[in-house]
Amino acid sequence: MKIINCEGLSKKYKDKKALEDITFSIEGTGCIGFLGANGAGKTTTMRILTGLAAPTSGKVEVVGYDVSKDINKIRKELGYCPQTPKFYNYMTGQEWMNWVGSMFDLDKETIKKRNEELLKMCGIWEARNRKIGGYSGGMRQRLAIAQALINNPKLLILDEPVSALDPMGRYDVLKLIGKLKNKMTIFMSTHIIDDIARVADKIVIIDKGSVILSDSMNEIMKKYAKQIIEFSIEPTDKNIVKILNNKSWVSKIDVDGSKFKITTNQFEIARTQLLQLIIDEKLSLISYGVSGTSLENVFLKVVGN
Ligand SMILES: Nc1ncnc2c1ncn2[C@@H]1O[C@H](COP(=O)(O)OP(=O)(O)OP(=O)(O)O)[C@@H](O)[C@H]1O
């Protein structure tokens, strides 16, 4: 089953086109990074997926149901954290979770069990009896995730979950997302590419209201990213250039004395075969290093500016 399926989704705010012909689909568990510059249309898409806004045209299905017909069925399977989660600051974390659980019509015993499990998983258990008003930004975000998980959702939608956090808060929330993504589908928007690079398995890039790329992280890096392996050997062996030139995993070789620079888009193969080659040819390796195209470069290349 497709967890998210958008076909030709468009959204207009009066005369302003926010989304135009958005088409992509998501299957299976894992973390999907929804990447786009400010104003690209991420929040609008997420609000439509959660039934908080209506599409102007197109088909949108979430966990197998049509958003325009079956939003109540969708909400039973969906967890959502808005960009700025709101709480009653006078409540404690535990009180808040009890209140959220009661809104889902869960019985007292289930709420108690589920809250303990979620507050522990999200690192709030120790602070559960403290007022939310005294929580740090990271704690509030983790409480928002715990709250969104109360109904054991198949799909968790997170709108910019780490953008407003300090490095420690970001680290904790990303670690939590990394843990959760094995059990459910997480659709997470951000404009911070590093965060996506850390946790995402698949990426959907949106620009000016249209999807410009949707693929697995592996495929994207294979297609757009080039890795460079730099090494130096002794003695300098000209024959090695000839051997390397015949290897399918070598895209380009630059030689500067005993220093070699290999560009490849088959990094894993290149890495193991190059080291084997150095051993087989009985060369002494003086230095070895790897650098490559970052996801940021890929994003800039795809977005085109
Ligand atoms: N209620 C609204 N009325 C009019 N225009 C809107 C409304 N909400 C969003 N827009 C416009 O739609 C476009 C997409 O906005 P959206 O908030 O979805 O982008 P975003 O990618 O989430 O941006 P950000 O990263 O800044 O949150 C923007 O041009 C925005 O100005």
Asked whether the whole model's pTM tops 0.95, one would answer no
CA of 178 to the centre of ligand 1 (A): 28
- For 288, the token pair is 């070895």
**Which of 14, 34, 44, 187 has most ligand 1 atoms within 8 Å of its beta carbon, as the pocket-test mutant?**
44
Q: Report ipTM (2 d.p.).
A: 0.95
- Domains annotated for the chain, with CATH where assigned, are 2-77+153-222 (3.40.50.300), 89-141 (no CATH), 225-301 (3.30.70.100)
CA dist 98 and 37 (Å) reads: 37
**Which of 10, 13, 205 has most ligand 1 atoms within 8 Å of its beta carbon, as the pocket-test mutant?**
13
Residue nearest to atom 18 of ligand 1 (CA): 41
Residue nearest to atom 26 of ligand 1 (CA): 38
User: What pLDDT score does 162 carry?
Assistant: 87
Tell me 162's DSSP state: S
Residue 52 makes CB contacts below 8 A (sequence gap 6+) with none
Contact between 120 and 179 (Cβ < 8 Å) = no
Sign for the pseudo-dihedral over CA of 202, 138, 87, 114: positive
- What does each of the 305 residues of the chain score in pLDDT, given as a tens digit? 899 999 999 999 988 899 999 999 999 999 999 998 888 999 999 999 999 999 999 999 999 999 999 999 999 999 999 988 999 999 999 999 999 998 887 888 999 999 999 999 899 999 999 999 999 988 999 999 999 999 999 999 999 988 878 888 888 889 989 999 999 999 999 888 888 888 999 999 999 889 998 999 888 877 777 788 999 987 766 688 888 989 999 988 988 888 899 988 787 788 889 989 888 888 888 899 887 777 777 777 777 75
Residue nearest to atom 3 of ligand 1 (CA): 13
CB burial string 254-271: b at 16+ within 10 A, e below: eeeeeebbbebbebeebb
User: What pLDDT score does 237 carry?
Assistant: 65
Ligand 1 atom having least distance to the Cα of 36: 21
Contact between 67 and 55 (Cβ < 8 Å) = yes
User: What pLDDT score does 305 carry?
Assistant: 52
| Ligand 1, CB within 6 Å, residue ranges | 13, 16, 18, 36, 38-44, 191
CA dist 221 and 266 (Å) reads: 10
